[in-house]
Amino acid sequence: SLRPNGRWRRAWQRGRTNEALLAYAADHAWLVDAFTRLAEARGEARWIASARETADEMLELFWDDAEGGLFTTGEDAERLLVRQKEYYDGATPSANGVAAGALLRLGALTGEVRYTNAAEGILRWLADGMRSQPQAFTTSLAAADLLVTGATEVAIVGDRPDLVGAVQRRYLPTVVLAHGEPYPSPLWEGRDDGKAYVCRNYACRQPVTDEEALLAELT
Protein backbone atom coordinates (compact mmCIF):
# COMPACT_ATOMS: atom_id res chain seq x y z
CA SER A 1 0.00 0.00 0.00
CA LEU A 2 1.34 3.43 -0.96
CA ARG A 3 1.32 6.65 0.99
CA PRO A 4 0.32 9.80 -0.92
CA ASN A 5 4.05 10.62 -1.24
CA GLY A 6 4.71 7.24 -2.87
CA ARG A 7 6.38 5.55 0.13
CA TRP A 8 5.38 1.90 0.49
CA ARG A 9 3.75 0.92 3.77
CA ARG A 10 4.11 -2.38 5.56
CA ALA A 11 0.43 -3.33 5.73
CA TRP A 12 -2.99 -2.39 4.37
CA GLN A 13 -6.50 -3.39 5.32
CA ARG A 14 -9.62 -2.38 3.43
CA GLY A 15 -10.91 0.90 4.81
CA ARG A 16 -7.85 1.72 6.90
CA THR A 17 -4.08 1.90 6.79
CA ASN A 18 -1.29 2.28 9.32
CA GLU A 19 0.57 5.40 8.24
CA ALA A 20 3.31 4.87 10.82
CA LEU A 21 4.30 1.36 9.71
CA LEU A 22 6.71 1.90 6.82
CA ALA A 23 7.69 -0.97 4.55
CA TYR A 24 10.97 -2.75 5.26
CA ALA A 25 13.74 -3.75 2.89
CA ALA A 26 12.20 -7.22 2.52
CA ASP A 27 8.90 -5.70 1.38
CA HIS A 28 10.66 -3.67 -1.30
CA ALA A 29 12.78 -6.64 -2.40
CA TRP A 30 9.73 -8.87 -2.85
CA LEU A 31 7.91 -6.11 -4.73
CA VAL A 32 10.83 -5.67 -7.14
CA ASP A 33 10.84 -9.42 -7.71
CA ALA A 34 7.04 -9.57 -8.11
CA PHE A 35 6.87 -6.66 -10.55
CA THR A 36 9.74 -8.06 -12.61
CA ARG A 37 8.16 -11.51 -12.76
CA LEU A 38 4.80 -9.98 -13.74
CA ALA A 39 6.51 -8.19 -16.62
CA GLU A 40 8.03 -11.48 -17.76
CA ALA A 41 4.73 -13.33 -17.35
CA ARG A 42 2.32 -10.83 -18.89
CA GLY A 43 4.44 -8.73 -21.24
CA GLU A 44 3.13 -5.44 -19.83
CA ALA A 45 5.63 -2.58 -19.72
CA ARG A 46 4.00 -0.98 -16.68
CA TRP A 47 5.38 -3.73 -14.45
CA ILE A 48 8.95 -2.95 -15.48
CA ALA A 49 8.29 0.71 -14.69
CA SER A 50 6.96 -0.29 -11.25
CA ALA A 51 9.93 -2.58 -10.64
CA ARG A 52 12.37 0.20 -11.49
CA GLU A 53 10.60 2.75 -9.29
CA THR A 54 10.56 0.35 -6.35
CA ALA A 55 14.17 -0.73 -6.87
CA ASP A 56 15.30 2.90 -6.97
CA GLU A 57 13.45 3.64 -3.73
CA MET A 58 14.87 0.49 -2.13
CA LEU A 59 18.44 1.45 -2.93
CA GLU A 60 17.88 5.04 -1.81
CA LEU A 61 16.26 4.16 1.52
CA PHE A 62 18.06 0.99 2.63
CA TRP A 63 21.52 0.82 1.01
CA ASP A 64 24.56 0.69 3.29
CA ASP A 65 27.18 2.93 1.68
CA ALA A 66 29.90 1.71 4.05
CA GLU A 67 29.69 -2.08 3.64
CA GLY A 68 27.09 -2.77 0.97
CA GLY A 69 23.84 -4.62 1.42
CA LEU A 70 20.46 -3.40 2.62
CA PHE A 71 19.50 -2.34 6.11
CA THR A 72 16.21 -3.73 7.39
CA THR A 73 14.67 -0.30 8.02
CA GLY A 74 14.76 2.77 5.81
CA GLU A 75 16.70 5.92 6.48
CA ASP A 76 13.37 7.71 7.01
CA ALA A 77 12.25 5.27 9.73
CA GLU A 78 12.48 5.65 13.48
CA ARG A 79 16.09 5.71 14.60
CA LEU A 80 17.20 2.58 16.43
CA LEU A 81 20.25 1.93 18.61
CA VAL A 82 21.48 -0.58 16.04
CA ARG A 83 20.38 -0.57 12.40
CA GLN A 84 20.33 -4.24 11.51
CA LYS A 85 20.39 -6.19 8.26
CA GLU A 86 18.79 -9.49 7.24
CA TYR A 87 21.46 -11.71 5.77
CA TYR A 88 20.52 -15.40 6.23
CA ASP A 89 17.38 -17.31 5.30
CA GLY A 90 15.14 -18.30 8.16
CA ALA A 91 11.43 -19.05 8.02
CA THR A 92 11.41 -16.71 5.03
CA PRO A 93 14.21 -15.78 2.62
CA SER A 94 16.43 -12.89 3.64
CA ALA A 95 15.77 -9.40 2.33
CA ASN A 96 19.27 -9.19 0.89
CA GLY A 97 19.07 -12.54 -0.87
CA VAL A 98 15.72 -11.71 -2.48
CA ALA A 99 16.95 -8.25 -3.45
CA ALA A 100 20.09 -9.61 -5.09
CA GLY A 101 18.16 -11.98 -7.32
CA ALA A 102 15.47 -9.42 -8.18
CA LEU A 103 18.02 -6.73 -9.02
CA LEU A 104 19.95 -9.10 -11.27
CA ARG A 105 16.82 -9.99 -13.25
CA LEU A 106 15.75 -6.37 -13.50
CA GLY A 107 19.23 -5.34 -14.60
CA ALA A 108 19.28 -8.00 -17.29
CA LEU A 109 15.88 -6.95 -18.63
CA THR A 110 16.55 -3.22 -18.65
CA GLY A 111 20.29 -3.00 -19.32
CA GLU A 112 20.68 -0.79 -16.22
CA VAL A 113 24.08 -1.74 -14.80
CA ARG A 114 23.38 0.05 -11.51
CA TYR A 115 20.93 -2.72 -10.59
CA THR A 116 23.43 -5.42 -11.49
CA ASN A 117 26.18 -3.60 -9.59
CA ALA A 118 23.99 -3.27 -6.50
CA ALA A 119 23.21 -7.01 -6.61
CA GLU A 120 26.91 -7.80 -6.89
CA GLY A 121 27.57 -5.51 -3.93
CA ILE A 122 25.03 -7.40 -1.85
CA LEU A 123 26.58 -10.76 -2.77
CA ARG A 124 30.10 -9.56 -2.01
CA TRP A 125 28.91 -8.50 1.43
CA LEU A 126 27.33 -11.95 1.92
CA ALA A 127 30.28 -13.91 0.51
CA ASP A 128 31.82 -15.03 3.81
CA GLY A 129 28.50 -16.32 5.11
CA MET A 130 27.74 -18.18 1.89
CA ARG A 131 31.12 -19.92 2.08
CA SER A 132 30.89 -20.89 5.75
CA GLN A 133 27.16 -21.72 6.07
CA PRO A 134 25.75 -22.31 2.60
CA GLN A 135 22.60 -24.00 3.94
CA ALA A 136 21.56 -20.69 5.52
CA PHE A 137 22.03 -18.71 2.30
CA THR A 138 20.13 -20.65 -0.35
CA THR A 139 18.38 -17.58 -1.78
CA SER A 140 21.64 -15.67 -1.97
CA LEU A 141 23.38 -18.65 -3.55
CA ALA A 142 20.70 -18.81 -6.26
CA ALA A 143 21.40 -15.14 -6.97
CA ALA A 144 25.13 -15.80 -6.97
CA ASP A 145 24.62 -18.59 -9.51
CA LEU A 146 22.71 -16.17 -11.76
CA LEU A 147 25.50 -13.61 -11.41
CA VAL A 148 28.31 -16.08 -12.13
CA THR A 149 26.50 -17.96 -14.90
CA GLY A 150 25.16 -14.77 -16.42
CA ALA A 151 21.60 -14.24 -17.58
CA THR A 152 20.44 -15.47 -20.96
CA GLU A 153 18.16 -12.76 -22.34
CA VAL A 154 15.27 -13.77 -24.57
CA ALA A 155 13.35 -11.12 -26.49
CA ILE A 156 10.24 -12.22 -28.38
CA VAL A 157 8.94 -9.44 -30.59
CA GLY A 158 5.40 -9.10 -31.86
CA ASP A 159 2.43 -11.38 -31.26
CA ARG A 160 4.01 -14.82 -30.83
CA PRO A 161 2.24 -16.58 -27.93
CA ASP A 162 3.60 -19.92 -29.15
CA LEU A 163 7.20 -18.79 -28.63
CA VAL A 164 6.41 -17.09 -25.33
CA GLY A 165 4.70 -20.24 -24.09
CA ALA A 166 7.67 -22.39 -25.10
CA VAL A 167 9.88 -20.41 -22.71
CA GLN A 168 7.35 -20.02 -19.92
CA ARG A 169 6.50 -23.73 -19.73
CA ARG A 170 10.08 -24.60 -18.79
CA TYR A 171 12.10 -24.04 -15.64
CA LEU A 172 14.92 -21.81 -16.83
CA PRO A 173 16.24 -19.99 -13.75
CA THR A 174 18.97 -18.08 -15.59
CA VAL A 175 16.73 -16.95 -18.46
CA VAL A 176 14.96 -13.57 -18.45
CA LEU A 177 12.12 -12.99 -20.90
CA ALA A 178 11.06 -9.78 -22.62
CA HIS A 179 7.90 -9.88 -24.74
CA GLY A 180 4.72 -7.96 -25.39
CA GLU A 181 4.95 -4.21 -24.84
CA PRO A 182 8.42 -2.73 -25.47
CA TYR A 183 10.13 -0.68 -22.76
CA PRO A 184 13.52 1.09 -22.63
CA SER A 185 16.11 -1.68 -22.92
CA PRO A 186 18.81 -2.86 -25.34
CA LEU A 187 16.71 -6.02 -25.77
CA TRP A 188 14.18 -4.14 -27.88
CA GLU A 189 16.56 -2.21 -30.11
CA GLY A 190 16.58 -3.12 -33.80
CA ARG A 191 14.33 -6.17 -33.45
CA ASP A 192 11.95 -7.52 -36.11
CA ASP A 193 8.36 -8.53 -35.43
CA GLY A 194 7.53 -12.21 -35.21
CA LYS A 195 11.02 -13.33 -34.16
CA ALA A 196 12.72 -14.54 -30.99
CA TYR A 197 16.20 -13.39 -30.05
CA VAL A 198 18.43 -15.30 -27.61
CA CYS A 199 21.17 -13.05 -26.25
CA ARG A 200 24.05 -12.89 -23.80
CA ASN A 201 25.03 -9.42 -22.63
CA TYR A 202 22.70 -8.15 -25.40
CA ALA A 203 24.76 -9.81 -28.12
CA CYS A 204 22.20 -11.96 -29.89
CA ARG A 205 22.36 -15.06 -32.04
CA GLN A 206 20.47 -15.28 -35.28
CA PRO A 207 16.74 -14.77 -34.61
CA VAL A 208 14.43 -17.77 -34.85
CA THR A 209 10.76 -18.08 -35.76
CA ASP A 210 9.67 -21.51 -34.52
CA GLU A 211 9.48 -23.23 -31.16
CA GLU A 212 11.90 -26.04 -31.96
CA ALA A 213 14.61 -23.65 -33.04
CA LEU A 214 14.09 -21.47 -29.98
CA LEU A 215 14.41 -24.41 -27.60
CA ALA A 216 17.55 -25.53 -29.40
CA GLU A 217 19.04 -22.09 -28.77
CA LEU A 218 18.16 -22.30 -25.08
CA THR A 219 19.56 -25.79 -24.55
Question: What does the alpha-carbon distance between residue 194 and residue 155 come to, in Å, rounded to a whole number?
Answer: 11
pTM of the model as a whole: 0.91
Q: What is the pLDDT of residue 86?
A: 84
pLDDT at 15: 57
Q: Whole-angstrom Cα distance, residue 107 to residue 123?
A: 15
Contact call for residues 51 and 106 (beta carbons, < 8 A):
yes
How far are the Cα atoms of 68, 83, 122, 131, 176 from residue 89, in angstroms, in the given order? 18, 18, 14, 14, 24
Positions of the chain with pLDDT under 50: 1, 3-4
Distances (CA, A) of 126 to 2, 51, 69, 129: 30, 23, 8, 6
pLDDT at res. 148: 96
SS3 for 175?
Answer: strand
Q: What is the CA radius of gyration of the chain?
A: 18
Contacts of 36 (CB under 8 A, 6+ apart): 47, 48, 51, 102, 105, 106, 109
Q: What is the pLDDT of residue 87?
A: 83
Return the pLDDT at 10.
65
- 203 vs 219: CA distance, rounded Å: 17
Q: What is the pLDDT of residue 197?
A: 98
Residue-level pLDDT at 19: 56
Each residue's pLDDT tens digit, 52-68? 999 999 999 999 999 99
**pLDDT the model gives residue 22:** 84
